[in-house]
Amino acid sequence: MTLTTEIKDLYDQGRISTRQMMRFQFASGIYGFISRAEPFTYSGVEYKPFGLIEVSDIGGGTGTSADGGFTLTLAESPDDGLTPDVLTQIEIEDYRDRPVTVMDAHFHPDTGALLQVEVVARGYLDVVEHQVDPERGYILVARCEGRQLDYSRKNGRYRTMTDQARRAPDDKFFQHAAKRGRVDIFWGRVAART
């Protein structure tokens, strides 16, 4: 996604208000967080305030390997209600291989109006580590795999009429596929028999 001219001009002037947003899609629902003091609703999801999540450098990979992964680090903040007990509740969730999206929300500095939301990274939550840091206290470190894994995943489809009818009931493309047999076609000369 490219930034609009208005946002680029505000960046050049040093006046843009950019807030980081994160969306986690778990089996129990979609959870959003935004780095500001008040909640914010975007695309039907309420993003709750946070201020202590760090995002590692977002790698860019090619191919089907899991390069391009990134790490999210969340430190406890009892003043904001993020106690160690709250942070350990992630273990209740089925979080492995669940989608994670990191975004930048650009707001107008004078009006506070949302100008644009830019997706910075997409990935899948892989491993959540629980650590105790002597300076920051209890922290969660969530390691995310990049979307390159999508290229190597099987989609589970079989090319049959039944499978196609689930997607497009009137499409008859595979109606003869199961009826065709294997035909051996001879190619070349018959060898002379001796």
* pLDDT of 155 over the 70 cut: no
With cut-offs at 50, 70 and 90, classify the pLDDT of residue 154.
low
What's the rounded mean pLDDT across residues 142-150? 78
Q: Which residue would you say has higher pLDDT here, 182 or 67?
A: 182
| Domain membership flag for residue 165 | no
Residue of 124, 125, 117, 137 whose CA lies nearest to 74: 137
State how many domains the chain has: 1
| Domain membership flag for residue 170 | no
Which residues does 128 contact at the CB level (< 8 Å), separation at least 6? 90, 91, 95, 140, 141, 142, 143
pLDDT for 160 equals 74
Q: For 35-81, what is each residue's pLDDT tens digit?
A: 888 899 999 999 988 766 788 876 555 544 445 689 988 888 777 67
Largest CA distance in the chain: 95
| Domain membership flag for residue 160 | no
| Domain membership flag for residue 189 | no
pLDDT for 108 equals 94
- The strand pairing partners of 104, in sequence order, are 20, 118
| Domain membership flag for residue 163 | no
- Determine whether 56 is exposed, middle or buried from the number of CB atoms within 10 Å of its CB (0-12, 13-18, 19+): middle
| Domain membership flag for residue 14 | yes
Which residues does 64 contact at the CB level (< 8 Å), separation at least 6? 148, 149, 151, 152
Domain that holds residue 37: 5-151
3-state secondary structure of 144: strand
pLDDT for 111 equals 94
**Positive or negative: CA dihedral 162, 167, 168, 171:** negative
| Domain membership flag for residue 90 | yes
Q: For 89-135, what is each residue's pLDDT tens digit?
A: 888 888 998 999 999 999 999 999 999 999 998 999 999 999 998 88
β strands within 37-163, DSSP E: 40-42, 45-49, 53-55, 70-75, 99-107, 114-133, 137-146
pLDDT for 36 equals 85
Q: Measured between alpha carbons, how far is 100 from 24 in angstroms, rounded to an integer?
A: 5
| Domain membership flag for residue 109 | yes
Q: For 13-39, what is each residue's pLDDT tens digit?
A: 999 999 999 999 998 999 888 888 889
